[in-house]
Amino acid sequence: MYFAALLARTEDGWEASDTELDDVETLSDLADLAREATPDEDTVFVLIEQEDSWFGLVRVDGEEDPRIFVSDAAAAARSAYGELLLTDELLGREPGADDGPDLDALDLDGTEEGESEEEDDDDAPTTSVSTVPHGPVGDGRILDDLGVSEKELRGLDPNDALAEIAEALGASEVLETVR
């Protein structure tokens, strides 16, 4: 079960709205969706959680690049919404690193297609796949200026994280109205 909401800071305080992410395909699309939530260049958060598993925050301040925090990258990688947030840059990978096997690294042993090798396949080298780290990734200081330290953010339980964040921001009532 997923929950996704936009939380925008305005002159009058925080405004929340639930949001559908089904049509969002990239982080850029998600940032554009957040920017549309407010006519000014106010701070907007995209809050995403998967029940009992992980939560993610995307912070958009005007036209600046979005800042991202994901509580458990490995758990998020198993979900479509999590994959939106887990960019190559966030994971410290070269862009396009998972685009398939590296043709330069293939062991071309001279056998033709259909011929068998005499060696046991268990001894053959396996293709290295970039792994997604377990635990938090991203900008742990995403909420520092709003009163939530990196240590506090990293220590939040995914079940209660968005409620605790909203409470620290003074936005718990508006967030609860869209839950």
**What are the tokens at 39?**
């006519």
Task: Express each pLDDT in 92-111 by its tens digit.
Answer: 887 765 544 444 444 445 44
pLDDT at 126: 34
Q: Exposed, middle or buried by CB within 10 Å (0-12, 13-18, 19+), for 158?
A: middle
Question: Over the chain, what is the mean pLDDT?
Answer: 83
The Cβ of residue 146 has, within 10 Å, a number of other Cβ atoms equal to 15
In this predicted model, what pLDDT tens digit does every residue of 145-164 receive, in sequence order?
Answer: 999 999 999 999 998 999 99
Residue type, 179: R
pLDDT per position as a tens digit, 1-46: 889 999 999 888 999 998 888 889 999 999 999 999 887 888 999 9
Given a cut of 60, is residue 91 above it in pLDDT?
Answer: yes
